[in-house]
Amino acid sequence: MTHKIGLVGLGAIAGKSHLPAIAGNAAFELVAIASLQGAMDGVPLYRDHMAMLAAHPEIAAVVVCTPPRARLEIAADALAAGRHVMLEKPPAATPGGLDFLAGVAGRHGLVLHTAWHSQYNAAVDRARDMLAGKVLARLHIDWKEDVHKYHPGQEWIWNAGGFGVFDAGINGLSILTRVLARPLFALGAELHVPADAAVPVAAQIRFSDGSDAVMTGDFDWGWTSGDLREIHIETAEGQKISLTASGGRLLVDGVEVLAPQRAEYREIYADFDRLLREGVSRVDGAPLALTADIFLAGQAVAAPAVRH
């Protein structure tokens, strides 16, 4: 028996990642799409998620791939209509919004799945195992890429609730919170907010886990020298553990120990299938909570305009 899916938001991430993963997993069947853009041959298209849900009572689960700000209302509507929900990352615009959705899912006995795709890497799991119980000496995360390469012409990324550089950088934070498996918080941050944007294009961050470890981050969406998405950790015992290639590759003391072929969305849907069969939610609010920490502890500094 397959899980019948309705997908909301047929943008870049849906086309590139969700549709292939759904097509490649026999446990799922895509029965309808709600989107203001795009279309898919042979799949009924609706302009509105409510119209889609009304026309397709057979939809058991809704996958939400819209920009972050729209997710809460869509997810709440879907849950209220008795459908399970998977959310692209970040699962909501704020931690409070995610808490609300988790409460709704719990009250309705429905599955909510926060799909932090960067966590779905074998190298991340291995690093987590290696770091379990370890005291750290230092940690640095670089998350740098060219926004114009990945979000050409998109406006929502620069608006309040659009996250700015943290739209990408929250992937790095999702790896960080996963591998450390302990509460992280922000000590301070410089948030470089462009003159024509509500959210930062770059940020330097000081983190802590409450230990003496020195933890820093450098996030930059104006980086044009190739993607740099790396986490470097040194334990108190002197072991160096690095996750490079956006969590895809693990190096220990400079030697590569794991670099499997990337299969993030295949794993996300395999996980969602398990969660649906078991009737269990997976709600991970830690990366979003750490992002909120950074915004609250951060100091805005002026940066040049970014829109064209």
Q: Please give the residue ranges that form the binding site for its own copies (CB under 8 A).
A: 72, 76, 92-97, 99-100, 103-104, 159-161, 183-186, 188-189, 193, 198, 208-210, 289-293, 295-300
Minimum distance of its own copies from residue 174's CB (angstroms): 15
Nearer to its own copies, 32 or 199 (CB): 199
Which is the catalytic residue, given 4, 89, 144, 240?
89
Minimum distance of its own copies from residue 242's CB (angstroms): 24
Burial pattern 169-184, b for ≥16 Cβ within 10 A else e, equals bbbbbbbbbbbbeeeb
Distance separating alpha carbons of residues 92 and 285, to the nearest angstrom: 9
Minimum distance of its own copies from residue 14's CB (angstroms): 24
Contacts of 169 (CB under 8 A, 6+ apart): 143, 203, 217, 219
Chain centroid to CA 38: how far? 23
Distance separating alpha carbons of residues 261 and 98, to the nearest angstrom: 31
Cα radius of gyration (the chain): 19
Residue 237 CB-density burial (10 A; 0-12 exposed, 13-18 middle, 19+ buried)? exposed
Residue with tokens 């590139």: 16
Minimum distance of its own copies from residue 102's CB (angstroms): 9
Nearer to its own copies, 100 or 150 (CB): 100
What is the residue type of 105?
A: A
* Catalytic-residue membership of 240: no
Minimum distance of its own copies from residue 188's CB (angstroms): 6
Nearer to its own copies, 248 or 287 (CB): 287
Contacts of 304 (CB under 8 A, 6+ apart): 194, 195
Q: Residue 256: phi, psi to the nearest 5?
A: -70, 125
Minimum distance of its own copies from residue 193's CB (angstroms): 6
Nearer to its own copies, 43 or 104 (CB): 104
Nearer to its own copies, 1 or 302 (CB): 302
Nearer to its own copies, 15 or 106 (CB): 106
- 266-to-22, 24, 88, 195, 270 alpha-carbon distances in Å: 8, 8, 14, 39, 6
Active site residues: 89
